[in-house]
Amino acid sequence: MRVLVTGGAGFIGSHVVDALVQEGHDVAVVDDLSMGKRAQVHSSARLYRVDIRERQALEEVFRAERPELVNHHAAQGNLRRSMAEPSFDASVNILGSLNLIELSLAYHVRKFIDISSGGAVYGEPQRLPVDELHPIQPMSAYGVSKYSVEQYLRLFDGSGLDYTILRYANVYGPRQDPAGEAGVVAIFSRQMLAGERPTIFGDGTKTRDYVYVDDIVAANLLVMTEEQAAGRIYNLGLGCEVSDAWIFELVRKAVGATVEPILASKRPGEIDRICLDASRAKAELGWEPMISLEEGIARSVASYRGQARRCGGEMG
CATH number of 302's domain: 3.90.25.10
* Owning domain of residue 297: 184-208+240-276+291-310
pTM for the whole structure: 0.95
On whether residue 178 sits in a domain, the answer given is no
On whether residue 94 sits in a domain, the answer given is yes
Whether the Cβ atoms of residue 208 and residue 271 lie closer than 8 Å to each other: no
Phi-psi region of 189 (alpha: psi -120 to 50; beta: other; left: phi over 0): alpha
Rounded distance between C-alpha atoms, residue 98 and residue 107, angstroms: 14
Same domain, yes or no, for 33 and 167? yes
pLDDT for the residue numbered 316: 37
On whether residue 283 sits in a domain, the answer given is no
pLDDT confidence tier of residue 239, bands split at 50, 70 and 90? very high
Same domain, yes or no, for 165 and 66? yes
Domain count, the chain: 2
Same domain, yes or no, for 216 and 244? no
Same domain, yes or no, for 227 and 158? yes
Q: Which of 47-51, 144-148, 158-162, 279-283 is least confident?
A: 158-162
What is the arithmetic mean of pLDDT over 27-34?
Answer: 98
Same domain, yes or no, for 30 and 119? yes
On whether residue 316 sits in a domain, the answer given is no
Same domain, yes or no, for 99 and 231? yes
**CATH number of the domain residue 162 falls in:** 3.40.50.720
What is the arithmetic mean of pLDDT over 274-283?
Answer: 98
Same domain, yes or no, for 83 and 153? yes
Q: Name the β-bridge partners of 114.
A: 72, 165
pLDDT for the residue numbered 314: 46
Active site residues: 142
Neighbours of 260 (CB within 10 A): 10
pLDDT tens digit sequence for 52-99: 999 999 999 999 999 999 999 999 988 889 999 999 999 999 999 999
